Amino acid sequence: MRRGGILIELDFIKEMGAELKMMNRGKRGRSYKYGERMFEFLGHLYAFIRNYRILEGLCRGFSMSVKRFSSLFNIFHSL
């Protein structure tokens, strides 16, 4: 048994297009770029990592544009 391992499920990425269509249906104004499940995933990951800058790097790896790590902080605390 290994200590400190995390199992990560990335199925939300496959379904993000459908989730965004549903979230943006009937919405006025600018459409959402990222679904709620993406931020739920990052929130759970933050519970283990405890570093917003690392999460910012992960978002860049997913090709998400994050201008600054405080944006992630604000989103997590609004959930």
Prediction pTM value: 0.66
Q: Count the neighbouring beta carbons within 10 Å of the beta carbon of residue 78.
A: 7
The domain limits of the chain are: 35-79
From first to last of its 79 residues, the chain has per-residue pLDDT tens of 567 777 778 888 889 899 999 999 999 999 998 889 988 998 888 888 888 888 888 887 776 665 666 666 677 777 6
Place of tokens 């999460």: 55
At residue 71, the 3 state secondary structure works out as helix
